[in-house]
Structure 1
Amino acid sequence: MTELLQHIVNTLILGSTYALLGIGLTLIFGIMRVVNFAHGELYSFGAYALYFVGVMLGLNFFVALIVAVVLGCFAGALIEVVLLRPMRGADIDTTMLVMIGAMIVMQNGEQFVWGGVAKSVSTPFPELPLVIGSISVSWLRLFVFCAALALIGVSYLLINRTKLGKAMRATFQDRDAASLMGVNIQFIYMATFAIGSSLAAAAGALLGPVYVISPQMGNLASLKAFAIVILGGLGSIGGATIGGFLLALAEELGAGYVSSGYRDAMGFLIIIVVLLFKPTGLFARAERIG
């Protein structure tokens, strides 16, 4: 029972950051119909931004975290304006190739700038873990969980309680009708990609200090983001959130009770089973983002 409780605690911490990845991707794919293969590289961009601001510039860790998220937002807006806007109206295969190219350029750019050696980020949290009974969790991981939950809550409020969110949901339902009602589609697309990118960057910045930062860290993150969207169902913020926690649970239980070598395989096995019986995902909501 103690071991199971520890796995559940680990699931909550990891699942919260997975949810950020999934929410960002489902927003971009749902509203813009863009398969963002660079999503994982925006995740690693956030981690490297934290390293640059927090370690190389020496700013406070929490300030560096906020700056990393903001920089991820600007990076997403830049990608949309420079790469995707000129491709507006192109078929999905063309935009996929563009985003694959962006992914390759970003990953090789990170390796050129930072080198292939993994980086680490020190944090102000104590090394001794918080121990509650037989359960222990590091203060850093507890902070990651709380910060990720806060960002998930902000994302939900943004989509469901603001004028921008209403315009995004209208664009998701019917782009032409939304345009006729005065919605600036160009701005909505840029805002959507920027918000989705900032969430990916936030996930990378939060997990960067937990693990290590390397140019290849975005590869698996990208695959998991797509898996979460498939599991949760396109167009559902709640589905992406729950999908992130379900994927983390499958990985934790697989690593704990089968083998740590099958950690990632167990999660994708769940995806295959879901696709066989419910191809639209567990929480698909065809009518709206939310």
Structure 2
Amino acid sequence: MDQLLQHIANALILGGTYALLGIGLTLILGIMKVVNFTHGELYAFGAFMAYYFVSGLGWNFFVAIAMAIVLGVLVGALIERLILRRMRGADIDSTMVVMIGCWITMQNVALIVWGGVAKSVVTPFPTEPLVIGPVSISWLRIFVLVAALLLIGVTYLLIQKSSLGKAMRATFQDRDTASLMGINVNAIYTATFALGSGLAAAAGSLLGPVFVVTTTMGNMAALKAFAIVIMGGLGSIEGAAIGGFILAFAEELGSGYISSGYRDAMGFILIILVLMFKPTGLFYARGERIG
């Protein structure tokens, strides 16, 4: 039982960042119909920016995390404005090829800039963990969970309550009708890709200090983000959030009770099960809304 409680605590912390990845990707896929192969690289970008601001410039850790997220938003807006907007109206195959090229370019630029050696981010948290009965949790991981939940909540409120969120949901339902009603669809696409990219960068900047920062860390993150979207159902923020926690629990319990070597395989096993029994995803909303 003690071991189970520890696994649950670890899964909760990991699930928050997985949820951020999934929400960002489901927004982009649902609204823009773009398979975003750069999502993992934006995750790695957030981690490297946190490392650079803390270790390179000596910034406050919390300011560095916030700045990494802001830069993720800006990079996402640039990708949409300079690359994806030029591909508007192109077939999905052409767009996918361009996004794959962008992914490869971003990863190789990161390799040139940062090198292939793993890096660690210095944090201000004490090394002594918080011990609650049989469960031991580092203060850094507690911060990661709280920050992730806060970002998930802010994103949900943005989509559900703000005028931007209403415009995004209208564009998701019917782009042409939304345009006729006066919504600037190009601006919504830019905002959507920027928001999704910012969430990916947020996940990277939060998880980077927990583990290590490498130029290939985005590869598995992207695969897990796609797994979460498939599980949750395209267009469902709640589904992406819950799917992130489901994946984290599957990984943590699978590695703890089956084998750590199968940890990353758990997401693909879940995809197969979901596609077999509920191909539209666990929380698919019949294509009616983002939210």
Task: Tell me which interval the TM-score lies in, with the shorter structure as reference length.
Answer: over 0.9
Alignment of 1:24-173 (within 5 A): 24-173=24-173
CA distance in 1, matches of 2:223, 2:173: 26
**1:289 maps to 2:264:** no
Compute the displacement of 1:266 (Å): 2.1
**1:210 maps to 2:226:** no
Gaps of 5+ in 2: none
Q: Which 10-residue stretch deviates more, 22-31 or 267-276? A: 267-276
Aligned length: 290
1:250 maps to which residue?
250
Could you list the per-position Cα deviations for residues 145-183 of structure 1 after superposition, in whole angstroms to 9, with x for gaps in the alignment?
000000000000000000000000000000000001110
CA distance in 1, matches of 2:65, 2:265: 31
Could you list the per-position Cα deviations for residues 241-262 of structure 1 after superposition, in whole angstroms to 9, with x for gaps in the alignment?
0000000010011000001011
Q: How many percent of aligned residue pairs carry the same amino acid?
A: 71
CA distance in 2, matches of 1:279, 1:210: 34
CA distance in 2, matches of 1:267, 1:36: 19
Question: Structure 1 residue runs of 4+, over 2 Å off?
Answer: none
Compute the displacement of 1:55 (Å): 1.1
TM-score, normalised via structure 2 length: 0.99
CA distance in 2, matches of 1:6, 1:106: 37
TM-score, normalised via structure 1 length: 0.99
Could you list the per-position Cα deviations for residues 81-128 of structure 1 after superposition, in whole angstroms to 9, with x for gaps in the alignment?
111000000011111111101100000000000000011101000001
RMSD, matched Cα: 0.5
Compute the displacement of 1:267 (Å): 2.5
Give the secondary-structure state (helix, strand or coil) at the position aligned to 2:70.
helix
CA distance in 2, matches of 1:13, 1:49: 21
Compute the displacement of 1:187 (Å): 0.4
Q: Which 10-residue stretch deviates more, 127-136 or 259-268? A: 259-268
Give the secondary-structure state (helix, strand or coil) at the position aligned to 2:136.
strand
1:277 maps to which residue?
277
Compute the displacement of 1:33 (Å): 0.3
Q: Give the AA of the match of 1:96.
A: M
1:196 maps to which residue?
196
Q: Give the AA of the match of 1:40.
A: G
CA distance in 2, matches of 1:270, 1:197: 25
Gaps of 5+ in 1: none
CA distance in 2, matches of 1:275, 1:252: 22
CA distance in 2, matches of 1:266, 1:195: 28
Give the secondary-structure state (helix, strand or coil) at the position aligned to 2:265.
helix
Give the secondary-structure state (helix, strand or coil) at the position aligned to 2:264.
helix
Give the secondary-structure state (helix, strand or coil) at the position aligned to 1:131.
strand
Q: Give the AA of the match of 1:156.
A: Y
CA distance in 1, matches of 2:120, 2:7: 25
